[in-house]
Structure 1
Amino acid sequence: MEKLTNKEEEIMKILWRLNKAFVKDIMEEIKENKPHYNTLSTIVRNLEDKKFVGFTAYGKTHQYFPLIKKEDYYKAYVNKEMVGYFDNSYKNIVSFFAKEEKISVDELKEIINLIENGK
């Protein structure tokens, strides 16, 4: 599995949320910096070439759906890259977000509870 570009990740997030969609459906979900329809169609076909999406053909129209689970992609890339920024330390990640006040004490307690209970 290869790393996706930012735009490809944006499209995949939409497909993961919708489960299946035509290019026009994906276009409707993009709120800012909407690409031209043909550009979006090319991005989706690139995702197909990369084996991230499959499709069902309805004549000349294709309805796309994810072939890769969001969790699998995040495990392979997002977590790996995020940890890399913090010297491969999850403690450093949590500490960073606590110091930047992006995570509350209650959320930290919830995380500890999840760890202690194995969930």
Structure 2
Amino acid sequence: MKKLRKLPDAEFEIMKVVWANQPPITTSIIMEQLGKAKEWRAQTIITLLSRLVERDFIRTEKNGKERTYFPLVGKEEYLKFETGDFIQRFHENSFTSLVATLYDGDKLKDKDLDELMKWVKEKRE
């Protein structure tokens, strides 16, 4: 498998549908769950799926007239990659900087900090 790279927003939307469903998934399922809401045509979804195959995020099999798709990268694995990349690029690998930014921007409440402290204590034990 290739090294993970950041997905464009449209491909990430496709992957969220792939991860939310039991494999294999079909173009029809993706169209039903995402295409109508995004007003994407079937060809757009097929193009995005092809890109995800090229990037080794999914694999495909042909079953009769229909293609099925299987995830090669798990949701947790990708989110871990994205979060690590974000913290590195914007916070110079400082978790404290990230938390301070969220707290100062009123995105993180005292209750969230309490939960975070509890989590840290549990991890250290």
Check whether TM > 0.5.
Answer: yes
In 2, the alpha carbon distance for the partners of 1:82 and 1:28 equals 35
Q: Hey, what does 2:7 align to over in structure 1? A: 4
Q: Deviations 1:53-100 (Å, cap 9, x if unpaired)?
A: 123432020121211111211222332124421232111111111122
1:69 aligned residue (70, 74, 81): 74
In 2, the alpha carbon distance for the partners of 1:107 and 1:42 equals 40
Give runs of ≥4 in structure 1 deviating > 3 Å: none
Q: Hey, what does 1:107 align to over in structure 2? A: 112
Q: Hey, what does 2:27 align to over in structure 1? A: 23
In 1, the alpha carbon distance for the partners of 2:114 and 2:33 equals 35
Determine what percentage of the aligned residue pairs are the same residue: 27
Scaled by the length of structure 1, the TM-score of the pair is 0.86
Please say if residues 87 and 94 of structure 2, whose CA atoms lie closer than 8 Å, have aligned partners that are also in contact: no
Scaled by the length of structure 2, the TM-score of the pair is 0.82
| RMSD, matched Cα | 1.9
Please say if residues 19 and 66 of structure 1, whose CA atoms lie closer than 8 Å, have aligned partners that are also in contact: no
